[in-house]
Amino acid sequence: MGWLREHREELLNSIRDGEYEPNPVRRKEIPKPDGSGMRKLGIPTVVDRVIQQAKEEMAEILTHAAFYTGWPKAWAAFRMAKEVYVEE
């Protein structure tokens, strides 16, 4: 992913600053399996999908921590996870 290597810092800064906006998804129509028409499919860019997956995994970590340790301790898990992603 050459684009990602080239624009890494710019992308990370926009995410950290809360200014990141995903690109519009590519729309594609595919036939329904039963042949009764077409189904609209939205295809995100690779970078947007990677960011979406990372957010989902972070939410999963927090949810598991909150469930297993009780909510107040989940904040400690959140801080630990945040430290992993903060670059020195």
Contacts 24+ apart (CB under 8 A), 23-26: 23/47, 23/48
Structure tokens at 15: 């995410």
Best CA proximity match to 42, nearest among 54, 27, 53: 27
Domain that holds residue 47: 2-85
Reported as a pLDDT band with limits 50, 70 and 90, residue 74 is low
Structurally, how many domains does the chain consist of? 1
State the residue for tokens 């290597």.
Answer: 5
pLDDT beyond 60 at 87: no
Backbone angles phi and psi of 38, in degrees to 5: -115, 150
Mean pLDDT confidence for 36-61: 90
**Which position has the higher pLDDT, 63 or 24?**
24
- Give CA–CA dist 1/46, Å, rounded: 9
- Over residues 27-47, the mean pLDDT reads 93
Model pTM? Answer: 0.63
Percent of the chain scoring above 70 in pLDDT: 85
Higher-pLDDT residue of 73 and 32 is 32
